């Protein structure tokens, strides 16, 4: 058991706020063995609503195991800035190994 600090941004923040789901510097309880995807499932956030998830300030896969005190930020598609590429939100479309499973959308 433990907790994580959770933030949602952009359209997701708007959506979760409308549902009264805490999403601004929210402290959420964490169960042992939970990964990012489990946390999103609990909050009712579908994978296609996500472009990237920060775990402790770095873009991380959805199966990343969470630990007590982790900081999570979730970002929907539609975020501008050169940093989509430079932060690793978008990987090279050239390289098959970099493609996300849902990149055909």
Partner 1 sequence: MSQILRINTREKTYSFETPAEDIASLGGRALTSRMILNEVPATSHPLSKYNKLVFAPGLLSGSPAANSGRLSVGGKSPLTGGIKESNSGGLVSQKLARLGIKALVLEDKPEDDGFSMIVIKKDSVEFLAADEYAGVCNGDMITKLWERFGKRVATASIGVAGEQRLTSASIQFADPKGHPGRAAGRGGLGAVMGSKKIKAIVVDDKGTDRVPLHDPEAFKAVNKKWVELLTSHPVSGQGLPAFGTAVLVNVINEAGALPTKNFRTGRFDDAQSISGETMAANIEKRGGVAAEGCHPGCVIKCSQIYNDKDNNYLTSGFEYETIWAFGSHCLIKDLDDIAMMDRLCDDFGLDTIDTGVAIGIAMEGGIIPWGDGKAAIELLKKVGTGDPMGKIIGNGAAFTGQALGVDRVPVVKRQALPAYDPRAVKAVGVTYATTPMGADHTAGYGVCQNILGVGGSVDPLKKDNNVEISKTLQIATAAIDAAGLCLFVAFPILDNPEGLQMVVDMINARYGLSLVTDDVVNLGISILKDELEFNRRAGFTPKDDRLPDMFKEEVAPHNTTWDFTDEELAEAVKF
Residue 101 sits in the site that holds partner 1 (CB under 8 A) = no
Report strand pairing: 58-59 vs 2-8.
Answer: unpaired
Give the span between the Cα atoms of 19 and 57, in whole angstroms. Answer: 26
Among 24, 27, 29, 65, binds partner 1 (CB under 8 A): 24
Closest distance of CB 5 from partner 1, Å: 10
Tokens of 37: 């995807």
Q: For residues 32 and 77, which CB has a smaller minimum distance to partner 1 in the complex?
A: 77
Residue 81 sits in the site that holds partner 1 (CB under 8 A) = yes
Q: For residues 30 and 54, which CB has a smaller minimum distance to partner 1 in the complex?
A: 54
End-to-end CA distance of the chain: 36
Closest distance of CB 97 from partner 1, Å: 9
Tokens of 43: 């909050």
């Amino acid at each position: 058991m433990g907790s994580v600090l959770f933030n949602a941004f952009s359209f997701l923040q708007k959506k979760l706020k409308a549902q009264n789901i805490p999403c601004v510097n929210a402290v959420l309880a964490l169960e042992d063995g939970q990964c990012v995807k489990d946390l999103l499932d609990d909050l009712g956030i579908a994978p296609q609503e996500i472009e990237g998830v920060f775990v402790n300030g770095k873009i991380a896969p959805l199966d990343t195991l969470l630990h007590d005190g982790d900081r999570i930020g979730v970002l929907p598609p539609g975020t501008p800035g050169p940093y989509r590429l430079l932060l690793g939100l978008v990987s090279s479309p050239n390289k098959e190994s970099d493609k996300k499973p849902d990149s055909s959308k």
